[in-house]
A and B are shown apart, each in its own frame.
Chain A
Amino acid sequence: MSKSYQQLGTEGLWSNNPALVQLLGLCPLLAVSTSAVNALGLGLATIMVLSASNLCVSLVRHQVTETIRLPAFVLLIASFVTCAELLLQAYAYPLYLRIGIFIPLIVTNCTILGRAVSFASRNPVLPAFVDGIMMGLGFALVLLILGILREFFASGIIFANMELLLPFAENWEIRILPQYRGFLLAILPPGAFLFMGFLLALKNWIDNKMTVKQHNDEADILIRNTATK
């Protein structure tokens, strides 16, 4: 009954991606993706919280009864969010000042409670943990792509100020368009919706192409089989 790890990976990263398919956690996704470093910070925090909460929810799944499961899970998630917030304050304080209010808001990210209720509370510890990592990774990747795109279109630069999160990344800033005037709209709220819309369209387009190709392949096989008979 349980899914293979490969299946969990494809679901988290592509076919059931929390940001692109389930469209969960859009508030932090749209608000924080103004630059690559902000996006990466929130992405890492989300991966950490999601995998840890999935692990613990799975551990206590036989003890927590149906009636009290929501408060219990939220309490667990909130503890890990507090941990993430303290860690960020300790190791990347300047970044904390930039995305600070969105870290506590991870508690309300529907992806995390959703995975806890629909997957972790019904599966053994290891699959639940892997699911948490994969779902978190899927969310973080979309966040990072959105962050890079918006940063690039707004300023012509990518990976600016990466040292706020990674101390060794001081020279990561790449100026792709030196004479670029800057398209301010990209880092304003409408830019977030526009770029998110384009990412969704791109994913659906790729999915459509793949389904069509699959159908064609199946038809080919069918024709070959009937021909050999």
Chain B
Amino acid sequence: MSLSKRVKLRKNHQALSTSQIMLQVILACIPGIVALTVFFGWGTLINIIWLGLLALAFEALMLSLRQRQVIFYLKDYSALLTAVLLGICIPSTSPWWLGVIGIGFAIVIAKHLYGGLGQNLFNPAMVAYVVLLVAFPVEMTDWVVPRGSGTSPPDLLVSLQAFFSGDATGIDAYTGASAMDLFRNERGGMTITEFWQQNPAFGLLGGLGWEWVNLGFLFGGLWLLYKGIISWHIPFSMLAVMVLLAALFYDNGSSLSGGSPMMHLFSAGTMLGAFFIATDPVTAATTPRGKLIYGALIGITVYVIRVWGAYPDGIAFAVLLGNFAAPFIDYYTKLSVTQNEK
């Protein structure tokens, strides 16, 4: 890298404060959120607003308990980003109390009990997601059937009712197993082509609706790359490893197949995980080589959980396992002072 380019990079680095980075990441989520709202109804927006308010409240509470400057730290938007990511991840039909428990875990336990922003070992949004998934498996796997498969998603009134009533009876008419659920449960009985033909839950590339959500997050992620907020290493190695594994086990679409690379790239949370969650600068590996290893580790784990595991998607588990390994990876890939950066 030439000296002038490096100086320019340094300058860029200094120019971006934490709050600017967080804000850009939140803005980059918008295409994906729009796609989620179009295909799955208003629930996601309600989730994000509710979680955002709660996150700010919990953050302020913890900051004042820890005797920090409340307003100063609230303005770094990190709590808001956690809320947005968690709001995207949890089902759009979630009742209000699910958000309270989830964001409470994220902000109070996963973030502040570990020492606050920059000190947390694990991605707070993913800790919250896993806690909710393990504690409330029914509520957390209840996804709305996407627009385009014969039904339309619930309107604003029904979504609000589901949010306030706290039980899913009113919304049951709108929910069903997601594409990845079906794929996990009914694999082995039919070939991939039959799967696609018989299940309205599958779309052009992956799960119906999910393909557009993933394209939205891919677009947002590429924008973050262009702005220099994330580096290419983690998303690239994670997605490349997933494509490689999927191609290896694709088996030409037989009934024992692990699904096509396209399906894995454009279903469930792949793009969100690769560009927005795995790249969290606090909990990811930091050296260039380390990032490649870290991304590959997450990619392998996601594929293994999806195809041979007990859960339909494994992004959250994979990212947390990656977080565990990140300090270790950093230790073995750090550059010595005499080595030059590549």
Contacts and interface: CB of A to CB of B under 8 A. Distances in A.
Interface stretch (B30-38, B129-137, B221-229, B262-270): B129-137
A185 B109 contact: no
Contact of A188 (B101, B109, B134): B134
Interface string B128-165: 00010011110000000000000000000000000000
Interface string A166-194: 00000000000000010111001010001
A154 to B, nearest CB: 9
A184 B109 contact: no
Contacts of B109: 194
A122 to B, nearest CB: 40
A26 B135 CA distance: 23
Contacts of A183: 101, 135
A67 B136 CA distance: 55
Contacts of A188: 134
Majority-rule SS of B interface residues = helix
- Interface size range on A against B: under 10
A188 B109 CA distance: 17
Contacts of B131: 185, 190
Nearest to A184: B135
Interface in A133-189: 181, 183-185, 188
A188 B131 CA distance: 11
A221 B222 CA distance: 68
Contacts of B134: 184-185, 188, 190
Contacts of B135: 183-185
Interface string B81-116: 000000000000000000001000000010000000
Contacts of B137: 184
Nearest to A197: B113
A190 to B, nearest CB: 8
B108 to A, nearest CB: 11
Pick the most buried of B101, B109, B135, B137: most chain A CB atoms within 10 A of its CB. Answer: B135
A199 to B, nearest CB: 14
B139 to A, nearest CB: 9
Pick the most buried of A185, A188, A194: most chain B CB atoms within 10 A of its CB. Answer: A185
B153 to A, nearest CB: 25
Nearest to B130: A190
Nearest to A185: B135
Contacts of A184: 134-137
A183 B134 CA distance: 9
A190 B132 CA distance: 13
B274 to A, nearest CB: 26
A45 B210 CA distance: 55
B323 to A, nearest CB: 15
A183 B135 CA distance: 6
B302 to A, nearest CB: 21
B102 to A, nearest CB: 12
A185 B128 CA distance: 12
Interface of A: 181, 183-185, 188, 190, 194
14 contacts: A181-B136, A183-B101, A183-B135, A184-B134, A184-B135, A184-B136, A184-B137, A185-B131, A185-B134, A185-B135, A188-B134, A190-B131, A190-B134, A194-B109
Interface of B: 101, 109, 131, 134-137
- Ranked 10 nearest A-B pairs via Cβ: A185-B135, A184-B135, A183-B135, A185-B134, A185-B131, A188-B134, A184-B134, A184-B136, A194-B109, A190-B134
Given A184-B134, A184-B135, A190-B131, 8 more contacts: A181-B136, A183-B101, A183-B135, A184-B136, A184-B137, A185-B134, A188-B134, A190-B134
